[in-house]
């Protein structure tokens, strides 16, 4: 695990105090109950705190910082906010990370200062209705060359935050598969969301209720050439760094939710009484709490190890998949066990445990399913390709 410097520990402490002061869990419960009511106040407070500039070079008006700083932020935000952390995280990887790693100089000058100032929100539009994990094989959204740019037609699913975004980071098919390749040529686009031809529709879901996930419909949507991200027909290459970084952030968010689960479970176990003493005095509850702490430490080691590798410029794609799988499964198990500690109260909407339980479940499915990640992990040690 990366040993945090004194400056980073100070940043972590400052951020924790800010979250507890501005967005205590009691307030977050109320925000989360309002399905599809985007928490603009949360975005605005994040802007004042300078969080949208995290990971953006000072050259472009950002706060600087590397993947370890982003992991710290993801952890501390998720401890209270749970799934509402995506209010910050989506733009952090779909906007600043994507453009910072694959954008042209002109794109960096156009977009990064506005992101850092909190004036632009991004969403990612990659998943196809019939594809899921088979992103490239199921690609039906099509981009065709027109005078001065491209026209895009198709449909995307599970685009979280799309209804409130200013831009979509979208990938579309732009050529047929070449001989010897199973996949078509794809191109990544920065698509202005509030223009003719784009409509969004919310998908009701059990967790992350305030941050709506959407179907996105595109009908002859124009994108100028200057908003192609990376090279034409090599869009997945432009997206790779973004997707790998998303797994790092997801691991840190899962860790943060485990932190929240531990807090809630310990607090309840030291107050609730049964059979003449607090339930934390019973051995089985102590074992449950011990399991939570063990999973918390394992998740911490994995999340910050992979963030450190990314920051150091070391290979980290496989480590990101491993961290994503392990932290997501620890977090899901922790939230379920934490709910068991609370007993019937764990199911009450007034408690936070049920919120963590609902929010964290998606981490086993996205941004890559744990099953598909395991396929890649197995291949990395010599197993034949299974799909």
Cβ neighbors of 244 (< 8 A, separation 6 or more) are 310, 316, 317, 320
**337-381 pLDDT, tens per residue?**
999 999 999 999 999 999 999 999 999 998 899 999 999 999 999
Q: Are residues 249 and 214 in the same domain?
A: no
Retrieve residue 125's tokens.
Answer: 């539009």
Report how far residue 218's alpha carbon sits from residue 326's, in angstroms, rounded to the nearest whole number.
36
Query: ω before 76 within 30° of 0 (cis)?
Result: no
Residue 234 structure tokens: 């090599």
The owner of tokens 């996105």 is: 216
Top-confidence residue, 129 or 329: 329
- Domain range for residue 215? 123-234
Is 0.75 surpassed by the pTM of this model?
Answer: yes
Nearest by Cα to 224 from 168, 146, 171: 146
What is the CB neighbour count within 10 angstroms for residue 285?
19
Q: What is the CATH number of the domain that holds 167?
A: 2.40.110.10
SS3 (DSSP) at 278: strand
Q: Say how many domains are in the chain.
A: 3
pLDDT digits 0-9 by tens, 102-159: 999 999 999 999 999 999 999 999 999 987 777 777 889 999 999 999 999 999 999 9
Q: Are residues 330 and 248 in the same domain?
A: yes
Q: Residue 195: its pLDDT value, please?
A: 93
Q: What is the CATH number of the domain that holds 287?
A: 1.20.140.10
Q: Is residue 174 part of a domain?
A: yes
Q: Does any domain span residue 384?
A: no
Q: What letter does residue 5 receive in the DSSP assignment?
A: P
Kindly state whether residues 312 and 220 are assigned to the same domain. no
Tell me, yes or no, whether 386 lies in a domain.
no
Confidence of residue 180 (pLDDT cuts 50, 70, 90): low
Peptide bond preceding 367 in cis form (omega within 30 of 0):
yes
CA-based nearest residue to 368, from 257, 256, 247, 216? 247
| DSSP conformational letter for 366 | S
Residues 250, 224 share a domain: no
Q: Classify residue 385: in a domain, yes or no.
A: no
64 pLDDT band, cuts 50/70/90, is very high
């Amino acid at each position: 695990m990366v040993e945090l410097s004194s400056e980073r520990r100070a940043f972590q402490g400052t951020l924790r105090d800010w979250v507890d002061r501005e967005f205590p869990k009691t307030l977050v419960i109320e925000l989360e109950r309002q399905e599809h009511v985007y928490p603009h106040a949360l975005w605005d407070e994040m802007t004042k705190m300078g969080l949208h500039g995290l990971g953006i070079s000072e050259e472009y008006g950002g706060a600087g910082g590397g993947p370890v700083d982003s992991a710290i932020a993801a952890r501390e935000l998720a401890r209270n906010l749970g799934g509402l952390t995506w209010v910050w995280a989506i733009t952090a990887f779909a906007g600043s990370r994507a453009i910072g790693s694959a954008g042209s100089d002109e794109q960096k000058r156009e977009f990064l200062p506005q992101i850092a100032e909190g004036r632009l929100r991004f969403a990612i539009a990659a998943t196809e209705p019939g594809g899921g994990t088979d992103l490239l094989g199921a690609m039906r959204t099509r981009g065709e060359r027109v005078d001065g740019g491209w026209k895009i037609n198709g449909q995307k699913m599970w685009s979280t935050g799309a209804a409130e975004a200013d831009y979509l980071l979208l990938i579309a098919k732009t050529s047929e598969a070449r001989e010897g390749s199973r996949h078509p040529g794809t191109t990544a686009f920065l698509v202005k969301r509030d223009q003719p031809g784009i409509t969004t529709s919310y998908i009701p879901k059990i967790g992350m209720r305030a941050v709506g996930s959407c179907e996105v419909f595109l009908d002859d949507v124009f994108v100028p050439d200057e908003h192609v991200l990376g090279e034409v027909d090599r869009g997945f290459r432009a997206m790779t760094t973004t997707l790998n970084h998303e797994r790092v952030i997801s691991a840190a968010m899962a860790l943060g939710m485990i932190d929240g689960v531990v807090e809630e479970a310990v607090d309840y176990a030291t107050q609730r009484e049964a059979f003449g003493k607090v339930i934390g005095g019973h051995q089985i509850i102590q074992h449950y709490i011990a399991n939570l702490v063990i999973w918390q430490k394992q998740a911490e080691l994995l999340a910050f190890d992979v963030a450190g590798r990314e920051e150091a410029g070391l290979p980290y794609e496989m480590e990101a998949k491993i961290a994503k799988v392990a932290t997501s499964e620890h977090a899901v198990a922790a939230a379920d066990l934490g709910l068991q500690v609370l007993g019937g109260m764990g199911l009450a909407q007034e408690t936070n445990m049920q919120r963590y339980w609902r929010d964290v479940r998606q981490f086993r499915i996205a941004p890559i399913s744990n099953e598909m990640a395991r396929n890649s992990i197995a291949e990395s040690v010599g197993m034949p390709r299974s799909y």
